Amino acid sequence: MKWRELGIAIPVEGQRISLEGAWQNGSGGSAVVAPPHPVYGGSLNNPVVNEMAFGFYRRGLSSLRFNWRGVGASQGTKTADLECAVEDFRAALRYGRESSDGALIVGGYSFGAVTALMLALEDTTIEQLVLVAPPVQMLQGLKLESLTCRIVVIVGGSDPYAPVPELRGIFGRLQRGSVLAIPGVDHTFSTTGLSELNQLVSESTELGVDPV
């Protein structure tokens, strides 16, 4: 496979805005990856988001990264509102389904991981979630027990916002949930952990083909 990124525009249904996206063609199926918090600089160019997309691509999946409204070339007004984020993610998911045949994986980092969970709670056709460093505080109140899809959580062992014991307590009780920790890595993967993240994303993806 040859890594080739295409810039795209993702229309948000019912609104006169479109979101900036980046698409890589794979051999079958696709993965949609959400960036971290828009107010704190989260974008599709975030290194963690890039590594997630490449990990999926290594499994043969097409990958779609996108910018929240008001970020980069995305239209609209930047906001911290989770309902708006879910709406944006829903538009990206729709684009991914329409652009590729086969299975669809949903992923996200930090704020994007929480938004992915919220989307999966309303969309039971999602087959797998791959979540990186979902902040524990943002998980409160979500009825995760109703999820039936496979959920893989990847987190740094030194992440103060997503402590491994707490995440294992939350996701370990789910029917198909698991938590994978990368020792010595913080919430931002600022000094290390990106190559390990790429490998774990690729290895934990059930729906692609053999790694490349």
DSSP 170-212: HHTTSTTEEEEEETT--TT--SS-HHHHHHHHHHH-SSS-S--
Q: Is the pLDDT of residue 179 over 60?
A: yes
Q: Can you state the angle between helices 111-122 and 82-99, rounded to 10 degrees?
A: 70
pLDDT of residue 197: 98
pLDDT tens digits along 38-91: 999 999 999 999 999 999 999 999 999 999 999 999 999 999 999 999 999 999
Taken in order of first residue, the domains within the chain and their CATH numbers are: 5-204 (3.40.50.1820)
Q: Is the pLDDT of residue 26 over 60?
A: yes
Percent above pLDDT 70 for the chain: 95
Q: Is the pLDDT of residue 1 over 60?
A: no
Structure pTM? 0.94
pLDDT of residue 132: 98
Q: Is the pLDDT of residue 14 over 90?
A: no
Q: Which residue has the tokens 């991914």?
A: 96
Q: Is the pLDDT of residue 32 over 70?
A: yes
Q: In which band, very low, low, confident or very high, does the pLDDT at 211 lie, cut at 50, 70 and 90?
A: very low
pLDDT of residue 208: 52
- Which residues have a Cβ under 8 Å from the Cβ of 46 and sit 6 or more positions away? 35, 36, 109
Task: Compare 197 and 101 and report the one with higher pLDDT.
Answer: 197
φ/ψ (deg, to 5) at 174: -80, 155
Burial of 150 (0-12, 13-18, 19+ CB in 10 A): buried
Nearest one of 56, 64, 128, 141 to 99, comparing CA atoms: 64
163/133 Cα distance (integer angstroms): 9
